[in-house]
Amino acid sequence: MNVLLQLEQLNRETDPESGRVGVSLSESKSRFRSKSTFYPTHLRDNIVNMFQKNVETELSLLHETTSDLPSRNNLTMKEKRALNTLKNDHNIVIRKADKGGQIVILNKSDYVFEAHRQLSDRETYLPLEKSPLNIYASELDALLQEASSFNIIDDKLIAYIKKDTPKSAIFHHLPKIHKKERPPVGRPIIAGIGSLGENLCEFIDHFLQPLVLRLPSYLRDSGHLLHSLNNYQWNLPNLKWASIDVASLYSCIPHDLGLQAIEFHLNQYSTYDSNFITFLLKSIYFLLTHNFFYFDKKYYLQCRGTAMGAKFAPSYANLFLGWWEELHIYSENNHFSDNIQYYGRYIDDIIIIWSGTDEQFNDFIKHINTNNYNLQFTSEIHHTSINFLDITLSTFNHSVTSTIFRKECSANTLLEATSCHPRHSILNIPYSQFLRIRRICSEETEFMSQSTDLYYRLLDRGYPKKNIIKAFERAATVDRSSLFDRYKTCDSKKFKHKKNVHKKDNASLTCILTYSPQLNMIEKIINNNLTILKTDPILRQILNKGHRFVTRKTETLNFQEEEKIEDSR
């Protein structure tokens, strides 16, 4: 199989060194550690106690002085009452739309009916009489202990992967309002936060990622696609745009074929030794065959595919399709190789530059739909332009041109200017959005047109006109080619996974706080009292390296909706 030749024909970068990829287990172990609860009480001296007492006293005083002040709220009383009424209405379900950012309110009966319709597929889901959590937890423990006996993982890693009090994953679905069906069909999601396999999923994904990055078809995002097409010459006659979508990729992969695909990539292209590969495969098998969840007072087991919502699911699906591509797209046996001038894929969305007739393309689709992988493909072919991800691609003077594509169901999802976020984050949003337009729009006229649309959407979200214009003028002067610099190393990372460099000796201290309008005053209180700590020579040496404050987001209405889903456990 002359794979390198095929990759060159399809205008994708090849591996110049035919190298293997991977990440070091020993260097990755520090990434997977349970949060320590250890506190060195013997190091608590009068200086530290004084610092803590002063900070707590001043924070209490700050709370007293600000609690009586009228709170700033970006919701009116009518809006608050309406939200509470909706929240307490148990006859409806509120969900985000699958695409476009809209909020969807459904009759609960319609929502539950759609869920049961999906869960009635006995080839994919199997009802359980009771929760298998305790049995599965014992099996996970046996798997980890076996790996420990071969010195593959240590006790600290076992402690991280195992959950002290794991929860059952829960099933919900996102309404596909961009489809014609009403009530809308849903995209199945299995929310596994706090579930038995959550941390094992994260661990597996970390070691599969380098293999995903080396896939010749891999597209990181729409910017990566534009970068790869930047110098493409539309010179051949009869060239057309085509797109292919894989139907229900996450739930269609048979376990045996999925494991075969992962084993292929690990053996052919990874740097991992045989013992570690065996552990990875056993772990993936465990995750696939123990993916149970809860919905409407019943437990189910997913017996085919992987859960959309699992951390390793995109990598697993990517590598499965990558295996299929190597055998059927990049193979010498692909009789349509000469027709495929460009081939790129973002998970289950494929874009092709096709040289040939529409009939030949239809024959190609029929050919790939005849397979033993349980894969089904839908397709489109266009002579002049095509919508793919968030861009519209076309051609002008033998070059590829691009502009923004927004679905008809797309909402104005820009952050409200009055939202409870750090001011620097809010003020930077207009500039970052104009930069996105600058990167995607290849023609100046399209940049101006899309910028005008963004201008009014920003105004609608409460951003000051002066700030919007300033952000636009700043973005307009940026050289478009410089916005693709980050993608220049993207292809090289397919073959060389950079090691994480930890500069612990020069690292500054980080104080993580939940954002609030009083953040600046809280930071000031802490900073003013650091002089107490600096009277200790050891602490002074540490503090002199610098420190910074980082904020985590505060609760939002979306968080309350997530809590509602959690309560359904």
| pLDDT tens-digit map of 398-433 | 999 999 999 888 999 999 998 888 888 899 999 999
- Evaluated on CA atoms 479, 484, 486, 489, the torsion sign reads negative
**Secondary structure of 482-503 in the HEC alphabet?**
HHHHHHHCCCHHHCCCCCCCCC
pLDDT in tens, the chain (569 residues): 344 434 444 544 444 445 799 998 888 888 888 877 777 666 678 888 999 999 999 999 999 888 777 666 777 889 889 988 988 999 999 999 999 889 999 999 999 999 999 999 999 999 999 999 999 999 999 999 999 999 999 999 999 999 989 999 999 999 999 888 999 999 999 999 999 999 999 999 999 999 999 999 999 999 999 999 999 999 988 999 999 999 999 999 999 999 999 999 999 999 999 999 999 999 999 999 999 999 999 999 999 999 988 999 999 999 999 999 999 999 999 999 999 999 999 999 999 999 999 999 999 999 999 999 999 999 999 999 999 999 999 999 999 999 999 988 899 999 999 888 888 889 999 999 999 999 999 999 999 999 999 999 999 999 999 999 999 999 999 999 999 988 876 654 444 444 444 444 455 789 999 888 888 999 999 999 999 999 989 889 989 999 999 888 777 666 555 555 555 55
Are 291 and 197 contacting, i.e. CB atoms less than 8 angstroms apart? yes
Helix (H, G, I), strand (E, B) or coil at 24: coil
Which has the closest alpha carbon to 453: 441, 426, 102, 442? Answer: 441
pLDDT of residue 496: 41
d(CA 421, CA 212): 34
Order of strands, sheet of 125-128, starting from the edge strand that comes earlier in the sequence: 125-128, 298-302, 292-295, 169-175, 186-191
CB atoms < 10 A from the CB of 233, how many?
9
**Amino acid making up residue 380:** E
Q: Which whole-number Å values give the CA distances from 546 to 232, 503, 524, in the listed order?
A: 48, 14, 15
Residue 533, judged by CB atoms within 10 A of its CB (0-12, 13-18, 19+), counts as middle
- Evaluated on CA atoms 260, 261, 267, 268, the torsion sign reads positive
Residue 474 backbone phi and psi in degrees, to 5: -70, -45
Helix (H, G, I), strand (E, B) or coil at 365: helix
Which has the closest alpha carbon to 402: 223, 218, 220? Answer: 223
pLDDT of residue 42: 62
Enter the pTM of the model.
Answer: 0.88
pLDDT of residue 502: 43
Residue 429 tokens read as 């949003």
Which has the closest alpha carbon to 388: 326, 343, 339, 432? Answer: 343
Helix (H, G, I), strand (E, B) or coil at 274: helix
Q: Which residues contact 26 (CB under 8 A, 6 or more apart)?
A: none
The continuous run of DSSP H or E covering 122 comes out as: none
Which has the closest alpha carbon to 454: 523, 440, 366? Answer: 440
Residue 169 backbone phi and psi in degrees, to 5: -65, 155
Which has the closest alpha carbon to 279: 153, 156, 155, 141? Answer: 153
Whose tokens are 């995903």? That residue is: 212
- The distance in angstroms from the start CA to the end CA of the chain is 51
d(CA 314, CA 235): 35
How many Cα atoms are found within 13 Å in the side-chain-facing hemisphere of 58?
16
Q: What angle do CA 370, 368, 9 make, to 5 degrees?
A: 155
Please report, to the nearest 10 degrees, the dihedral formed by the alpha carbons of residues 451, 411, 177, 387 taken in order.
10
Pairing mode, strands 92-96 and 377-382: unpaired
d(CA 16, CA 6): 14
**Secondary structure of 512-545 in the HEC alphabet?**
EEECCCCHHHHHHHHHHHHHHHCCCHHHHHHHCC
Helix (H, G, I), strand (E, B) or coil at 561: helix
Q: What share of the chain is helix, strand, coil (3-state, %, to 5)?
A: 45, 15, 35
Pairing mode, strands 386-388 and 186-191: unpaired
CB atoms < 10 A from the CB of 500, how many?
11
pLDDT of residue 564: 54
**Amino acid making up residue 54:** N
